Amino acid sequence: MKHLTVVLTLALLTSFSAIFAQEEDSSPDENNTLIGQFEELERKSGNYRANGIRYEVIKLSDLYEVKNNIFDSINTASKTIKDLSATITGNEAQIEDLNSKLQDTTNKLNTVTEEKDSISFFGALISKGTYNFILWSIIFALLLFLLFFIYRFRNSNFLTHQAKSALADLEKEYEEHRRRALEREQKISRQLQDELNKQKK
């Protein structure tokens, strides 16, 4: 029975020491924050009353330790802020560079798209729709000119044919008239000769 009591006592002491060790291990983590350090400072401080006013008494070493921790935290925060500011500045420069590259790429893409959708016509870039309109307008105008010249050619050919026909008729009539005039002249010459011959007798 005595051994059992000793064993139980040892078991309880071991478990309490383990729990206490865990609490001590966890408390420094909690006290590492500034709030935890201030709470620890309040817990360690003593108080007294003088002239009806309550005073808290804090050890200077604890106060200096908290003060140094505060300044360390401020310095760390300042360094972090500077690092983050430098990172932000670097990111802004990178974003600016990327925006510039994006703008250049967009401009090049627009130029390529415009060139793809356009055709060079007498050194000027015009859209395909405008080019097709101009091309078909030229073809239509040339077709109209061709029809006009065919009409003029046929008309002049018809007039030439009529003129040739009229000339042939005129030449035929002229030949007929010349032949008649020649016959008449010969007849008159004979009559004149006959009259002259009669007068000589």
pLDDT class of 21 with cuts at 50, 70, 90: very low
- Domain locations in the chain as residue ranges: 32-116, 121-200
Q: Provide the mean pLDDT of the chain.
A: 81
Report the distance separating Cα 78 and Cα 91, nearest Å. Answer: 19
6 pLDDT above the threshold of 60: no
23 vs 13, which has greater pLDDT? 13
> What are 85-144's pLDDT values in tens digits?
999 999 999 999 999 999 999 999 988 887 777 777 677 777 788 888 888 999 999 999
> What are 136-173's pLDDT values in tens digits?
999 999 999 999 999 999 999 898 989 999 999 999 99
DSSP 179: H
Residues 23-50, mean pLDDT to the nearest whole number: 70
pLDDT of residue 5: 52
Contacts of 186 (CB under 8 A, 6+ apart): none
Residues 9-32, mean pLDDT to the nearest whole number: 47
Note whether 38 and 66 are within 8 A (CB). Answer: yes
pTM, two decimals, is 0.40
Report the distance separating Cα 137 and Cα 66, nearest Å. Answer: 92
